[in-house]
Each structure stands twice: as C-alpha cells, then as structure tokens.
Amino acid sequence: MHGHVGFPVHRAYAKLPPQTTFTGRYVLVEPLDAKYIDDLYASLGQPEHYGLWTYLPAGPFQDKKSFTEAQRKAVGFFSLMRIDLENRVVEIGYIRTTAATETFYLTARAVFEDLHFRRLEWKCNDLNNLSKRAAARFGFTAEGVFRQHMVVKGSNRDTAWFSMIDSEWPALQDAFAKWLDPLNFDGNGIQRCSLGSFRRT
C-alpha cells in the first residue's frame, strides 16, 4: 500500500533539452543565435515594445546594444529553465512570440515525449493576467500563488504557479493537433474553433 508515501514512480531519468530544431506546420523553433538579433529587436526590443517586458526580470531596453547583450544572456522567445532531471520537472518561460501556440506545442511535445519529463511548470507575476489566461488556454492547471515570492525591478512579485503533467499530455496533445489543423482556419487565418473546445472534459 502506497497511500502514505505516494504512488511509485519508474526510475527513468529526464534528459537535458538538445540544441535542436523543432519544425511545425507554421513555425520553426531554433536555438537562439546572434544572427536573429535584428529580427528579434525589430519585433520585441524597440521602445514601443516596452509593455512586453513589464513582468519579466529583464528589459525593457534602451537601444539595440543593450537588447543584444541581454539576448546573449539567453533572454529570448522562450526558455526551458529550472531543469530538475532527478525529479523530471522543467519550467517554460520568457515566451515572447506571436506564434506562441505552435511554439508551445512543439516544445511541450518534446518535453514529455522525447525528454521524459513528468511535469512542466508555468510561473508568472500574479498581476500578469495575460500570462495567466495563456496558461489556462494551453491546458495548465492553476496550483496557487506564492506570496511575496520575489522582488523584481524593485517591486514585489506574488507568483502564480501552474503545471501540466505527463498523464495529461496525451489529451492535450490531441487538442493542439486538432487546433493546428489547417481546416481549423479560414482563408484569413482566423480560427474556426478555439483550442479549449478541442479539450476533452
């Protein structure tokens, strides 16, 4: 009987994410490289994009030089971080892309199916309602708020925690695949059905 200690876990180990490319139907996800700085700065780093960096530890950036230096410190479209191979837990963060849905799908598929993690985490400032809505849309489960968790840019941060676990992934994977199907989009690229509508209840 395992009621007092939790269910048994097969002693497999997760693997570190490789420096590889994920090819989707609409996006190509590649490791961050200096050759993308011009494109990244144009879409994320200029003064009109200051709002994108409100809840992140880095940014906003005064000029292209400071943006470039930050990219060299691995602040990019997204990052797999806080990697715990022993417990097979990894966090996804810094998601900054207009193609977030397929980017997330390709990454989560690799995390669960190729790298053998048991748990994928999403954390954000509890004031960041856009990020919390994105986590819910992708199928994460809200786990609560860590009060006074961090000080970021001189201000308190209460951190909202979300998770997705390996046993949930098959149904979520199916929903992403159906949402990404070209038949789910009209001639203007507008979705016919929401991602949530494909999730099993």
Helix (H, G, I), strand (E, B) or coil at 128: coil
Mean pLDDT, residues 68-76 taken together: 53
Tell me the pLDDT tens digit for each residue of 83-110.
888 888 988 876 655 567 888 898 899 9
Tell me the pLDDT tens digit for each residue of 9-57.
776 777 777 677 777 777 777 777 777 778 777 777 777 777 767 766 6
Residue 137 pLDDT > 90, yes or no? yes
Burial class (CB in 10 A: 0-12, 13-18, 19+), 94: middle
Would you report the helix, strand and coil content of the chain in percent, each value rounded to 5? 35, 25, 40
- Token pair listed for 48: 């009109």
- Token pair listed for 88: 């097979």
Q: How much is the pTM?
A: 0.73
Cα separations in angstroms, 93 against 55, 101, 107, 187: 11, 14, 11, 32
- Token pair listed for 199: 């999730």
Residue 68 pLDDT > 60, yes or no? yes
Q: What is the pLDDT of residue 55?
A: 65
